[in-house]
């Protein structure tokens, strides 16, 4: 590999000749050979957005320094970052400085070097021009919020809505099918299958409401705070104008943070937003578990529904098929719950004017968004859309349920009903046989009162 020499305030560094990054990025590569977890692509694109916005605002507020020519070069490089063309030039791992300074400088160096290449001369300096009116301490938190809001709105919420729509279709298809309810994993009073599905659907709708609400505080940006929150070296109005520019670029609503000292040191907005992601994960866990329990069998389980048979389930048991999509959902849910712990602990580590656990915080947050988005689409396509009710099994289970005795409670009382159940269970009788033997009702009255399909 051929190298070129770059320099920073600490001296000269050898950098791969064909890379757009510079000395500070290379020092990070050399000093942090830790793991394989790269800075998320979503953060890199967010840096492209915010650097573009900052240059445009600087051009308006400080045209003597951010000239039209420099702005044009920065715009060209930033657009290539946003469209993914320059992603190979962002090699840094998550496990770097906790402020994300090296990733900010990675963006500054790539934009400057690519811009200078476009110009055919050295016009841009990574710090003086690309980082003008900024600090790593306010750009990285801003990139965190931009990426989290963008990915949630563009990918996660639409993916959850796809799953909700599939459940709505399933709900309508199964109206009127009465089955046994279950509480504590034990037989309970009847429910319609559509009612059961409606519970799943409503849970996801509530999750979207909570996720949407969490994006309100997450849409505030730290830009304009610079190093410690005072806004040193940023022109008046920069913070408000850059938030407006980012809103224009993304088509999403961003505002400047009301208190910049809070914006640098606290990550409570990300904790709050990830809490909503965790709520979604919890509901997906419940729904996936319900579906695999209901589909268990095919002969020795509940067997009340069938799900698509997508692939062989065993390397030794021929013909076995497993609820693999449900298992994928539950594994994603576990990962998101674990990520919530990492996000929370990271947010607790703000010291004085800065939090220095930001890369690990946003890495876990974005992974949760990505996994939840993907698994909702996969679960919908490969499982939920193919669910079929086994009406015969549902009907058989319903009429074998001892909890149907609840329909008789208004007529013979709770304690008498309990005696009917215990007798029926111990001697293998039907509820009718047990009730008649105990003399609580005659056959005519039993048939008059006992209608499971009316209990829903």
- The number of beta carbons lying within 10 Å of the beta carbon of residue 407 is 18
Our answer to whether residue 184 is catalytic in this structure is yes
Q: Are 123 and 73 a contacting pair, CB within 8 Å?
A: yes
Tell me the mean pLDDT per 10 residues along the chain, length 456.
93 96 98 98 98 98 98 98 98 98 98 98 98 98 98 98 98 97 96 98 98 98 98 98 98 98 98 98 98 96 96 94 97 98 96 97 98 98 98 96 95 96 96 96 95 92
Q: What is the pLDDT of residue 386?
A: 98
Q: What is the pLDDT of residue 99?
A: 98
Q: Which CATH class is domain 139-171+188-391?
A: mainly alpha
Q: How far apart are CA 176 and CA 179, in angstroms?
A: 10
Q: Say how far residue 178 (Cα) sits from the centre of its chain.
A: 34
Peptide bond into 228 cis (omega under 30): no
Q: Could you check whether 3-132 and 139-171+188-391 share the same CATH topology?
A: no
User: 3-132: what fold?
Assistant: Fumarase C; Chain B, domain 1 (1.10.275)
User: 401-454: what fold?
Assistant: Ribonucleotide Reductase Protein R1; domain 1 (1.10.40)
Q: What is the pLDDT of residue 190?
A: 97
Domain coordinates of the chain in residue numbers?
Answer: 3-132, 139-171+188-391, 401-454
Question: Which H helix or E strand runs over 119?
Answer: helix 101-119
SS3 for 208-219 is HHHHHHHHHHHC
Our answer to whether residue 198 is catalytic in this structure is no
Which residue in the list 314, 422, 425, 451 is annotated as catalytic?
Answer: 314
Q: What is the pLDDT of residue 37?
A: 98
Q: Which residues of 104-140 are buried (b: 16+ CB within 10 A; e: fewer)?
A: bbbbbbbbbbbbbebeeeebbebeebbbbbbbbbbbb
Q: What is the pLDDT of residue 262?
A: 98
């Amino acid at each position: 590999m051929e190298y070129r020499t770059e320099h920073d305030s600490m001296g000269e560094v050898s950098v791969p000749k064909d890379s757009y990054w510079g000395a500070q990025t290379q020092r990070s590569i050399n000093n942090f050979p830790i793991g394989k977890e790269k800075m998320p692509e979503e953060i890199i694109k967010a840096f492209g957005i915010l650097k573009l916005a900052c240059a445009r605002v600087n051009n308006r507020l400080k045209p003597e320094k951010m000239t039209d020519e420099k702005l044009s070069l920065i715009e060209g490089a930033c657009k290539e970052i946003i469209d993914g063309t320059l992603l190979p030039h962002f090699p840094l791992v998550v496990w770097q400085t906790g402020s994300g300074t090296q990733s900010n400088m990675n963006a500054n160096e790539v934009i400057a070097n690519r811009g200078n290449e476009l110009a055919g001369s050295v016009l841009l300096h990574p710090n003086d021009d690309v980082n003008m009116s900024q600090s790593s301490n306010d750009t990285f938190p801003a990139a965190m919020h931009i990426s989290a809001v963008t990915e949630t709105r563009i990918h996660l919420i639409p993916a959850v809505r796809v799953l909700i729509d599939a459940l709505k279709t399933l709900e309508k298809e199964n109206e009127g099918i009465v089955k046994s309810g279950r509480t504590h994993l034990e037989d309970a009073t009847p429910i319609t299958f559509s009612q059961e599905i409606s519970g799943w659907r409503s849970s996801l709708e509530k999750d979207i409401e909570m996720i949407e609400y969490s994006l309100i505080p997450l849409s505030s940006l730290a830009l304009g705070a610079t190093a410690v929150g005072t806004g040193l070296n940023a022109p008046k109005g920069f913070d408000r104008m850059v938030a407006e520019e980012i809103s224009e670029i993304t088509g999403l609503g961003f505002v400047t943070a009301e208190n910049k000292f809070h914006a640098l040191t606290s990550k409570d907005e990300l904790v709050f937003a990830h809490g909503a992601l965790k709520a979604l994960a919890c509901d997906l866990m419940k729904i996936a578990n319900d579906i695999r329990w209901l589909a268990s069998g095919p002969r020795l389980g509940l067997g009340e529904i069938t799900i698509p048979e997508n692939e062989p389930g065993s390397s030794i048991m021929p013909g076995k098929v497993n609820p693999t999509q449900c298992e994928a959902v539950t594994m994603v849910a576990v990962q998101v719950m674990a990520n919530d712990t990492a996000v929370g602990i990271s947010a607790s580590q703000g010291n004085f004017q800065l939090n220095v656990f930001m890369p690990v915080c946003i890495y876990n947050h974005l992974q949760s968004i990505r996994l939840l988005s993907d698994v909702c689409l996969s679960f919908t396509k490969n499982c939920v859309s193919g669910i079929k009710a086994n009406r015969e099994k549902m009907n058989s289970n319903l009429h074998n349920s001892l909890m149907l005795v609840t329909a008789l409670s208004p007529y013979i009382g709770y304690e008498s009903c309990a005696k009917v159940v215990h007798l029926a269970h111990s001697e293998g009788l039907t509820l009718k046989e047990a009730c008649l033997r105990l003399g609580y009702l005659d056959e005519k009255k039993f048939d008059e009162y006992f209608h499971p399909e009316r209990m829903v």
